[in-house]
Amino acid sequence: MADNYTKFVNGGLGKKLSKQLGLPRPAILRRYAPDAPLTVGPVLVVSDDASAGDADALAKALVAWDVDVRRSGDDSADIRWGGVVLVGTAAESPEAVSEAVLALGGTLRKLAGNGRVVVVSRAPEAGDSPTLAATRAGFEGFTRSVGKELRGGATANGVQLTGGAAVDSASALGTLRFFLSAKSAYVDGQVLPVGPSDAQADVDWARPLAGKVAVVTGSARGIGAAIAGTLARDGAKVLVVDVPAAGESLAAVANKIKGTALQLDVTAPDAGTKILEATKHLGGIDILVHNAGILRDKLLANMKPAQWDAVIAVNLASQLRINEQLLAAGVEGLRIVSLASTSGIAGNKGQTNYAYSKSGVIGHTAATAPLVAALGGTANAVAPGFIETEMTRSIPVGTRVVARHVVPSLQQGGLPIDVAEAIAFLSSPVASGVNGQVLRVCGQSMVGK
């Protein structure tokens, strides 16, 4: 649910006062609900001339999802676009994109609240001419900047095709659908590379993880519990894992989602082996979510060895050890998703240990990706920003207020479900073209844990 400030300024008196005083008025974000439409209104698909064929292919896919698709703008006063998809996959010079980009700009005032802008482009590749590389690279900065210009809960994200991936491949379409949907409510300004994959196009979008077995560490509460619940909602059988001291809460989570509980300290030398043993009767392991993490915040000048070592052991070394054991066992088709943090990207005062561990997660994800790919799997990371949890309640009040409301463009903290939705997407078969990547769930804020 929205924080108290957001709820207040979207109510009668609060809305009036916030307008008079010039206070930030963050929108109440639209999040996923079963049977709700994919978008809040029609979707406009625009492109440069060279990319028109790819734009037509995406429009066809959107129509198959029961989306009202338009290929040209509408000047009527009452039109409110639920989404705009800009396709620049075949553009060869910066000048060639101008008309399509400006056409997109002309629609933004008519973008509905919680609307979506998705930019579909290709990544620069070795051998590209300087002109082609500049054309392709430009879309990334453009996408992030558009996201910061939007209001009313709207977001802008990018699908960046790599390695010759087809624009209408299952992974490209699955990523487009995620960014258009309410599941990406707190993902903004992100450009996600998508490569070729063998994912199938016929997807049960209501239960994309049906038949899969997922393991979620640190799942007795907070983000971990939300991840477990979301994976179960999407059809997975879930093994929830946490330390014995959290056994009662862990059992409650398992009972709620009809899953299985395993009391286990992830820093144990044989934690990976025990996870494999516990999943045998479930049919093996398909998804591993490294969520377990702790904080021991302290300025480096005041930090004790125990505070540093505990954070590294839980947040980083345990993931490395468990991955090594699963890879040694030859687990095929494994989807690994690890929890990083914007602290590991931008740093945070008093969090040198935490930032080291989370930056290390990003490093091992990139290095693990080709190892699991050899077995038909993927390894990715999700980096949350400011998420409303028990952890973020430890941040000083002033910093929390700034983190929630004085940042572009969503002006609020995220919820555990926002992290869970991103992880569920990266765990799904349609995300098989996404490997070695970091997806930030931060509303374009770099403050948080």
Give the catalytic positions in this structure: 354
Angle CA(230)–CA(235)–CA(240) in degrees, nearest 5? 55
Q: Which two tokens stand for residue 272?
A: 């990976």
Cis peptide before 409 (omega within 30 of 0): yes
Comparing C-alpha atoms, which of 365, 371, 295 is closest to residue 332?
371
Q: Residue 97 has what DSSP assignment?
A: G
Buried b (16+ CB within 10 A) or exposed e, 33-49: eeeeebbbbbbbbbbbe
Q: Which two tokens stand for residue 282?
A: 């479930």
DSSP states of 12-36 as a string? HHHHHHHHHHT---PPPPP---TT-
Q: Which residues have C-beta within 8 Å of that of residue 302, sequence separation ≥ 6?
A: none
Cβ proximity of 258 and 272 under 8 Å: no
For the chain, the farthest-separated pair of C-alpha atoms sits apart, in whole angstroms, at 65
Q: Which residues have C-beta within 8 Å of that of residue 145, sequence separation ≥ 6?
A: none
Cβ proximity of 381 and 361 under 8 Å: yes
Q: Which two tokens stand for residue 145?
A: 């900047």
Q: At what angle do helices 352-373 and 305-312 cross, to 10 degrees?
A: 20
CA atoms within 13 A on the CB side of 380: 25
Q: Which residues have C-beta within 8 Å of that of residue 342, sequence separation ≥ 6?
A: 383, 384, 385, 440, 442, 445, 446, 447, 448
